Every structure is written in C-alpha cells, then in structure tokens.
Structure 1
Amino acid sequence: MESIQRICGFANGIDVDATGSRGSHIDVVVEENDGAETWRFTGFYGEPVEQNRKVSWELLRALHNGNNLPWLVAGDFNEILFSFEKQGGRIREERQMDAFRKILDDCELADLGFSGQWCTWERGRLVSNNIRERLDRGVANTSWWELFPNFEVCHLQHSFSDHCPLVVNTNRNGDRSNNEQQ
C-alpha cells in the first residue's frame, strides 16, 4: 500500500482508505497529519442517459446522508448547472439543470469554479456540429472549503478523450488563484 501511496503522491503523511465504489463512483476517506485532518473524496460519474439521471442524484444523496466530514466530489456529472455552460446542439431543458442544482443544494455542495478553458467536454469538429459543455466539475461542502481555502480547480487541455482532465490542487501552502471564473 505504501508504494501505491507514493505513486499517487500521498507519501507525506497522507492515508487514503477506499470506503466504497460502484461503476459510477469511488468513495475514499483521506487522513492527513496522522489523522489530525480527515476529509472525504468521491470520484463521481453521472448517468449519461437523461431519463436515468435520477439514479445518479439518488446515489449522491445516499453518499451525503450521514456524512459529517469535509467532502469533495469531482468528476463527470453529465449535466450542466446553467444554460451558459453549453454551446451548440439542442437546448438543455431547464428542469434538468434544476434537478442538478437541487441535488447539489440538498447535499450542501457548491461548485468550486475553475481556471482554464470553460468547457470540459467537446464533440464535433465542424462549426455546424460542434457541441461544448461543462460536464466535469468539482463541488464541495462548506467544511471542505474551510479546510482548503486556497484550493484551485484546473481544467487541463484534452488530447485523446472528448473530456478534459480536472486537477484539484488543495494549495496547502499557496495562494488561491482565480478559481472564481465561471
């Protein structure tokens, strides 16, 4: 386990314990400084079919229930929060975005913002069929924001995938850069 922790960059007194997973999420508890600071991370994949997305929101609700740790959730939610997070293609129905905003509110999670390009998913190379959306994001509860006040979420350039990678830097000893960009 120690070699895996070193490979993943958790060699400096950080312990990661997987508490659960399914095809659509992985849930871990992270202990830093010999357990002095404990927080939770969930890697999340939202249901890609809109009619089935309620299953994803119920999973998020179930993961939230009973949680008293600072909590970061990041991944591909397969949904946007606002219409300006989409360019091209058919217009997203307001009820879909409302459902996403509601589950985040119910779970006491707020969007972390980002730096880098605004879209995290792109399909179609021609102007006539190009669609861009911000499907991938990080969200966290208030206690996570308080634990990591200098965090930054970066959208990196995508190359082989239609999604761009996200990097969440907790910036333990750094200044918070412009992560309020929307």
Structure 2
Amino acid sequence: MVRLKCGYENGIDVGSMGSKGGLSLGWKGNSLVKLISFSSFHIDVEVNDTDCRNKWRLIGFYGNPDVRGRSESWNLLSHLSTNNSLTWVVLGDFNEITNSFEKKGGRRHSERQMLTFRMALKGCKWNDIGFRGHSPNIRERLDRGVATLEWVELFPGAQVDHLTHSFSDHYPILLDTMGMERFEYKGHFRFEAKWCLEPKFEDLVKDWWIDSGGDIPNRLEQLGQKMQAWSKSRERDEKRKRVCLEDRLDYLYKQDITDDILAKIAEAQLDLNLEANKEELF
C-alpha cells in the first residue's frame, strides 16, 4: 500500500468506487489521531496536537463527481458540521468551484451550482484558507482547504500548498499549520511580492524607514521586522475580507437583477479577484 510505503504505519483506508474516489489517511504515533466517522466520501478525525496543546478536527473530503449527486455531498458536510464541538479544517477535492474566476476557459459552471456550494460552506461556517503554488486542475480550482475562523485564529500562519504531480490532473494538497511562523522562528526574512498590491504599502515603507535608526544594516533589519509584523496582522484581515465579499456576493445574487445590482456584483467580483491575485502572487 502507498500509505505503508510512505512510512505511515497507522491509518484509515476507504476503497475507491471503480476508477473514482478512494480515501486514505495515514499518521505516525498511536495517540495522534482518533477516528470519528468515515464513508466513501469522507474521513473525519480528531487530532491531538501536542505542539499547540489543543485538539482540533480534520476532515478529508471527496465531493461527488456527478453533478446530480452534488447535493448529497453538501448534505453530508452539513450533517458533519452539526456534530462538532472542536475547531476544524476540511481538505480535499470538492469537485466544485465557488465563483467563476476560479475557472479559466471551458464551459461555464452553473451560477446555481456555485451558489449552492457557497451556501453549503457558509452554513458550516467554513472559510477558504487560500493556497500557494499552481492552481489545481490547471483550469478549475476543485481542490481546496476550508476552516472555521477559530481554527484560523489557532493557526494564523497556516498555509495550503498545491504541489506538483507527474501523472495526475489533481495537485496534492499540503497543509502546513506553522506556515510563515516556521520561517519567522528561524529568523529568515522573505519579502512578499503581494505586499506591493496594497495601495498604502509604499507610504508605510517610507514611514517605517524614517522611524528606524542606526546604520543602514540596522535600519534594514528594523524595516524587515516591521514588514513581517504588518504582514502577520494583515493575514487575518484578508481572510475576514474574503468572507465578507463572498457573503456580499451571495446576497447580491439573490436580488432582482437590475443595472445597479449588476454593477455591484461586478465590483464585488473584482475585489474578490484582487484577493485571489494576492494568493496567486504569494
């Protein structure tokens, strides 16, 4: 088995349905994971995280590839969300996109399908946690990670990476709960290109430089520290902004279509595109 070959002696495996589906979760250490439930479309576990001294919930999810069975997938997510007292994160192939800007080329997704998916995520109080690397499936962002705001606050530096794969049309998802905190702990400084998309960033840099003191190397070090502190505080604001924009789009799509509503939808979509561009650039 692939899981055992990778060195994960403990695990849960759910067989595929013909050539589709199939789930596997592996881990090291007997006390790390506690199984809550599983099906052909999900594995639900409780993680005993000794690093942060908290327990949280992880769900590996596979959305029904058949559009006609997609509502059953969202019903499953809703059912799982009602039986929970822990903060949680969900990773997997949802087989659906939330907005048209997550798809490039090809046949357009039904607005009703995307709205139903957004409402399912909203009903479970899950927020997209973004990603780094190439967008999965080249044209459609079907693979993703979503989490409750409590989980995001527990792991403010968490990052989702889409890794490359040689023979699959999906990209493996890597969740790093430490994320940028790992780099900061090691003392590394990374200038993020997405910072330049912030309208006030240049003025902030000028102010930080004026406020710094000492010789050039010391001033540069102070500047880097201020950039990192500013970036860390922005992460949570950006996640909340995405949630607000998605909620606004959901509201606007439910209104009677007028020129004014269409203009507001276009404005909200542009703002969401900018947030998506930041993630792509990151």
Match for residue 165 of structure 2?
158
1:117 to partner: Cα distance: 0.8
Higher-RCO chain (CA-CA 8 Å, sequence separation at least 6): 1
State the AA in 1 paired with 2:111. E
Contact preservation (8 Å) 1:42, 1:72:
yes
Counterpart of 1:164 in structure 2: which amino acid? Y
Of the two, which has the highest radius of gyration?
2
Is the contact made by 1:44 and 1:74 (CA closer than 8 Å) also made in structure 2? yes
Match of 1:4 among 9, 14, 22: 9
Instruction: Tell me which amino acid in the other structure corresponds to 2:171.
Output: C
Greater strand percent: which structure? Answer: 1
Task: State the aligned residue count.
Answer: 168
**Cα distance change on mapping 1:18 and 1:84 into 2, 3 Å:** same
Name the CA distance, whole Å, in 2 between partners of 1:69 and 1:141.
10
Partner of 1:142: 149
29-38 or 138-147, larger mean C-alpha shift: 29-38
| SS class of match (2:175) | strand
The runs of 5 or more residues in structure 2 that have no matched partner are 1-7, 11-25, 185-189, 193-234, 236-277
CA-CA distance at 1:158 after TM superposition: 2.4
1: CA distance, partners of 2:182 / 2:128: 21
Match of 1:110 among 106, 127, 138: 127
For the Cα contact (< 8 Å) 1:150–1:175, is it kept in 2?
no
What is residue 50 of structure 2 aligned with on the other side? 33
Cα distance in 1 for partners of 2:56, 2:9 equals 19
> Which deviates more, 143-152 or 52-61?
143-152
CA distance in 2, matches of 1:35, 1:20: 24
Distance in 1, Cα, partners of 2:118 & 2:165: 26
Instruction: Give per-residue Cα distances to partners, 1:151-181, cap 9 Å, x unaligned.
Output: 0000111211110101000017525887860
> Retained in 2: the 8 A contact 1:14–1:33?
no
2:182 counterpart letter in structure 1 = G
Residue 231 of structure 2 is aligned to residue 133 of structure 1: no
2:96 aligns with 79
Which runs of no fewer than 5 residues in structure 1 stay unpaired? 123-131
Asked if the contact 1:121–1:164 (Cα under 8 Å) also holds between the matched residues in 2, the reply is yes
Quick check: 164-173 or 48-57, which moved more? Answer: 164-173
Counterpart CA distance in 2 for 1:20 and 1:45 is 14
By how many angstroms is 1:9 displaced? 5.8
Alpha-carbon offset, residue 4 of structure 1 = 2.6
- Residues 58-79 of structure 1 deviation map (CA, whole Å, 9 limit, x = unaligned): 0000000031211100000000
Q: Percent identity?
A: 44
Q: How far did residue 148 of structure 1 move?
A: 0.8
Q: Find out whether 1:54 has 2:71 as its counterpart.
A: yes
Please identify which structure carries the higher helix content: 2
Query: What is the alpha-carbon distance in structure 2 between the residues aligned to residue 72 and residue 27 of structure 1?
Result: 10
The 1-side partners of 2:41 and 2:27 are apart by 24
Match for residue 114 of structure 2 among 63, 86, 97: 97
Q: Give me the CA root mean square deviation.
A: 2.6
* Contact 1:24 1:46 (C-alpha < 8 Å) held by counterparts: yes
Answer yes or no: is 1:121 the counterpart of 2:137: yes
Contact 2:27 2:33 in 1 (8 A): no
Q: Which amino acid aligns with 1:181?
A: E
Letter in 2 for 1:162: D
Q: CA shift at 1:10, angstroms?
A: 4.2
